[in-house]
Amino acid sequence: MGKGHRHMKHLKAEKAKVKLKAKKSANKLPKGLNVTDTSFKVKKILIREQLQQRDETEVLSIRKLNIKDLLARLQHHNSTVREEALKQLKEILLRYPPRDLHAHLNPLLRGVAALSLDKEKDVRRDSLNALSLILRPISKERLTPYCDILISYLSCAMTHINPNVKEDSLLLLDVLAQNCGSALAKNSHKILPNFLGMICRLHSDIKPGRQLTTTLNSKNTSAKWRIKVLERLANIFTSLVYHEKHRRSTGSNALQKTGAVKGYARYVPVYGSRSTQVGEVDFDKDPSSMASCAEGILPMGEFAKHVDLLMPLISDIWLEVCPDGRTESNTETTISSEAATLLTSIVEIVLSITEYVDMLEHDHDAERTRHWFRDAFCNAYMKNFLSRFPYGKMRQLNNPRRRQEDFSQAQLTEKCLQQNLALCRIHVWFVSVVKRNKQFSKTARDHCESILRYLDDVIVNWHDSSALPQLTELLRALFLKAGPVLNANGVDLSNTLRLILKASSRLSKKEAQSRLSLILGDIMLEYNLNELHR
């Protein structure tokens, strides 16, 4: 009975459950139509471009793509495609001789230089490598028509809103400096304002001028960023001075090789009548303006405007990294390695400025420009740079775990010999501009005596042959240019001259002996140096 009762109870529970009914399909497939359709469509087979037949003389990559195909891929929206096209383009540049690529030079330069503004870092770096391969074998004459393209992309990169593109513009500048330095010198009036914009910003209209910016982005400290900018700026000034010297040395033949084109001329004299040298033809200038060829690469008025903005910025940059406290006389001021690198670029820039101003020796406004530069910046230079002179660099320790007392102060610092000699040379240039009948101020005299004491110590303990060119240039400026002014103000140079005589006989290296001997010979031949002759 109990067993049957349980069965009935189970049946009642099953009946009480909710029953789900299957929905009947309203759209039933009619009978006889549920048959598989085996029909198909036919399309033509498209052969990829790499498999097409190419001319044997055509320039192709390993994947059988020509330069036109690769340049089209450089504009692809996918960064991977652009990067792969650059790799194949570099492979073509390495495999084929430059003469096979001359017909494609214009689209190559435009396409590759445009990628220096790309948003992807890898694409920008690969484009700079490819651009270096393109520019390396090209001669200066063949590259001249394309310089404006390269300078335009450089200006766009240096003023780009993306800080990463702006930072990589310095690498683009390095590529151009290595392969077409003359183009940078001729277009320095376009590049120098962009440099100023990379380390400073304009004041408001109420306060004209410029003030330093802190940093470009979070990845760079202000000191590291300014080191990068000032190093390139120093290269630009050095290139400017070099090409200006070269232009002045060949200036006598410039007018013979330059031709002006009149409005009614039917032909252009591309070659001279006496030789097969290429003649430069200016289609813009009037024949009556041929005298303008005597002007410099960068006009002195524009150069002075850039210098007037740059020199205060250089002082501000140096004051940020230099120690605040003043040191006693004849003791070194210890600076960091970053500060020493900054100082190297700063003195190179200032020396280039003085050399460029000195090249005006035959111009009517030369003396006025020199006195302007000295009056505007000499006092600030002595206050900011020479008040803590000389400088020593903090040495990097190989084993930082060693105790501090295991090192002496001499072992912890290195002498910044080249930087100190360059600082001396700048001050000597300022001294040489002073008129002989004008007396020094007490500060200027103290700095002159401090420099002479430092120089005497360097000559006595001379051991660094790498700084020999800097030393000889300083001695030449000291005796030949500033010597009469120093003697007129009672600054004695006889002790330094005796030390040079001893050093020239003591040094064993022929290069040092010959350089010092040449300086002594020039002193003997200079008729104005009566005090030294005695």
Contact 392, 419 (CB under 8 A): no
Question: Tens of pLDDT along the chain (534 residues)?
Answer: 556 678 888 888 888 888 777 766 666 667 767 677 788 888 887 766 555 666 666 777 778 788 888 888 998 999 999 999 999 999 988 888 878 788 888 899 999 999 999 999 999 999 999 999 998 888 888 888 888 899 999 999 998 999 889 888 999 998 988 888 888 888 888 888 888 888 776 544 444 455 566 555 545 667 788 888 888 888 888 888 888 877 777 754 444 455 555 555 556 555 555 555 555 555 545 444 444 444 456 777 788 888 888 888 888 888 888 877 655 555 788 888 888 889 999 999 999 999 888 886 555 567 788 888 888 899 899 988 988 888 888 776 555 555 554 445 445 667 788 899 999 999 999 988 887 667 778 888 888 888 989 988 888 887 777 778 888 888 888 888 888 888 888 888 888 888 887 877 776 666 566 666 777 776 776 666 666 666
Closest CA to 200 of 303, 316, 347: 316
Total-model pTM: 0.75
> DSSP secondary structure string, 411-447?
HHEEE-HHHHHHHHHHHHHHHHHS-TTSPPPHHHHHH
Cα–Cα distance for residue pair 99/96, rounded to 1 Å: 8
User: In the CATH scheme, what is the code of domain 60-203?
Assistant: 1.25.10.10
Q: What is the pLDDT of residue 468?
A: 81
Question: Residue 202 has what pLDDT?
Answer: 55
CA dihedral 207, 208, 209, 211 (to 10 degrees): 30
* Rg value, the chain, Cα: 36
The reported pLDDT for the residue numbered 39 is: 84
DSSP-derived secondary structure for 260-293: E--TT-S----B-SSS-PBPEEESSS-GGGGGGG
**DSSP-derived 3-state class of residue 335:** strand
Closest alpha carbon to 390 in 354, 424, 348: 424
Please state, in angstroms and rounded to a whole number, the distance separating the CA atoms of residues 110 and 67.
13
Single out the residue of 255, 455, 264, 239 nearest to residue 355, CA to CA. 239
**Residue entry with tokens 């001669």:** 139
Q: Where are the domains of the chain?
A: 60-203, 243-248+297-395+412-531
* Residue 321 in tokens: 């990294």
Q: What is the pLDDT of residue 398?
A: 56
Dist. CA 37–CA 128, nearest whole Å: 58
Strand, coil or helix: 517: helix
Q: What is the pLDDT of residue 410?
A: 47
